[in-house]
Every structure is written in C-alpha cells, then in structure tokens.
Amino acid sequence: MHTQSRLEVQKCPMCGAPLRIHPHDTTALCVYCDAPITIHRGSQGEYQLSEDQALGREAATQIKKLLASGQEAQASLLYAQRTGVSAEEANQTIVNFSEHTQVSLFFRSTLNALGMSTALLLLGLVGLSGWLITVKPGIGIAVIVPALLFLLLLRGQFIRTIHYLTSARIGQARVLYHALLLDKIEDIRIARVNLEVHGPDGERFEVETHIKVRESALSKIQSGQVLEVKYLPNQPDSVLYGRGLKSTIIG
C-alpha cells in the first residue's frame, strides 16, 4: 500500500482535468469523465497516460455505484477482473478514486442564520446556568450539561462561520471541470469542481473542491460558467460557493 505517499497531479488524457495519482500507480480512474487510465513511465521518468480500452466507461460507472453503496471490495474485484491488473493495484486505484469522490461537507460547512442564533442562544444558556448553579445547583446542572454538549458539536462550524463573516474575500470562479457524485440528499447533489478563482486584488488560483447544488440549479455548474465564491485569505481549500451563510447551497 502506498496511500500515504505524495500525490502528483497529472492531466487526464481524455478530458484534460487534473488527475491525482501516487508515484507508483499503474492505473487510475478520472473522477471527472470516468475514463479508466493506464499509466506508463518513459525512460526519463516522464508519464505516459492513455485510456484503458479494456475496462470501458460503463464499468467505471458501475464501480462508482458500488463505491457509493460502500462496496469497496466488490469495486476492486470488478476493476481487477476487467483490467487484468493485480489485486493490490486494483485496490490502490479504487482507494485513490474513492478518496476523491467521497466528501465530508459537514466539517467544512458554515452555519446559516438559524444555526448561528442557536449557537448564540446556547452560549447565553451556558452563562445563565453558570449563575443558576450558585442558586439552584440541580436545575443549573440540568441546563448546562446539554447546552455545553450542543455547543461542543457546533464549535467547529461556529468558529468557521465567524472566520468567514470577518475575513472572507469574494471572488469570481470559472468552472473548468465538473462531475456529479452519486450521493444525493433529497434534491441536493454534490459536485466535484475544478475552479479557477479570481480574487478582488487580482490574485488567481486553481482549486478542486466539492459544492452542494440543488438539482434545479445544476445548469450553473457547467464548464465555463462563472460563480461567485468566498474564501479565506491564503487558504485555497476554503472556497465556498454562494452568498449567504448557508453558503454551499444554491437557493
């Protein structure tokens, strides 16, 4: 296993999107166009990437579906059978692919107005119950324990929201590449996007991130479209899409 080794960014030979691979990978799946890729190194160590015709894109889509339902072992098996690579190589490719198609938006998200009000109310309750403990200890403790627990849960998002409120910059982001992930929560889809961000002071950077988008607004996530994003200074990975506090969701 070499999952810990540094990722190198190559270009998908089929769609041109960034393809993140480990130095020893021999195969890969493009997260943007689903193309199965074979990786060769030339005598100078240069990369030669080509589409693996043996696998075919419908098998790649099948693999995505297996991963979405948590069947990583079956996905590896199918990949090994269809490409003829070893079980270890297949597993490495699938792990790599799955790392880039699974997301945890919760830990990056900010709170909306209701969430912020709740957090502030909880802070007030903690203060109040601090005083209550000195007069009526039983009731004070009954209030402070759940209030503290909820605050602890919201802590990361609360601090992040304050950060965005006080120092976020607004930029314009052009969608270079995009792919929809299979997970769907009601009418909300998650898209992996490769963005070219232009900041207010002329700074420019590229970033790959995940954004939530309603199905009715999917047309905004096409290549070439320009989105308004916000981000924290010098933190490209902090890019969020949208205006309000519920900033990763398009209204």
For the CB of residue 33, give the shortest distance to Zn ion in the complex, in Å.
3
Minimum distance from residue 174 beta carbon to Zn ion (Å) = 18
7-46 footprint of Zn ion as x/- string (CB under 5 A): -----x-xx-x------------x-xx-x-----------
Read off φ and ψ for residue 3, nearest 5 degrees.
Answer: -65, -20
Total chain residues near Zn ion (CB under 5 A):
8
Which one, 32 or 164, has the nearer CB to Zn ion? 32
Give, to the nearest 10 degrees, the angle between helix 137-167 and helix 113-135.
Answer: 150
Q: Could you give the CA distance from residue 27 to residue 53 in angstroms, rounded to a whole number? A: 12
Q: Does 49 interact with Zn ion (rule: CB under 5 A)?
A: no
Smallest separation (angstroms) from Zn ion to the CB of 194: 11
CB of 129 to Zn ion, least distance (A): 55
Please, which residue, 34 or 89, has the CB nearer to Zn ion?
Answer: 34
Least distance (Å) between residue 37 CB and Zn ion: 8
Q: Which residues of 103-112 are buried (b: 16+ CB within 10 A; e: fewer)?
A: beeeebbbbb
By beta-carbon proximity to Zn ion, the closer residue of 121 and 182 is 182
Kindly state the tokens that stand for 230: 């916000």
- Biggest CA-to-CA distance, the chain: 79
The whole-angstrom separation of Cα 146 and Cα 148 is 5
Nearer Cβ to Zn ion, position 49 or 111? 49
Least separation in angstroms between CB 34 and Zn ion: 7
Comparing CB distances to Zn ion, the nearer of 21 and 116 is 21
Residue 148 is given by DSSP the state: H
Residue type, 140: G
Which residue's CB is nearer to Zn ion, number 14 or number 132? 14
Q: How far apart are CA 119 and CA 108, in angstroms?
A: 17
Tell me the residue length of the chain: 251
Considering only residues 63 through 102, tell me which ones interact with Zn ion, judged by CB under 5 A. Answer: none
Q: Directed axis angle between helix 57-68 and helix 72-83, to 10°?
A: 160
Question: In the complex, which residues of this chain contact Zn ion (CB under 5 A)?
Answer: 12, 14-15, 17, 30, 32-33, 35
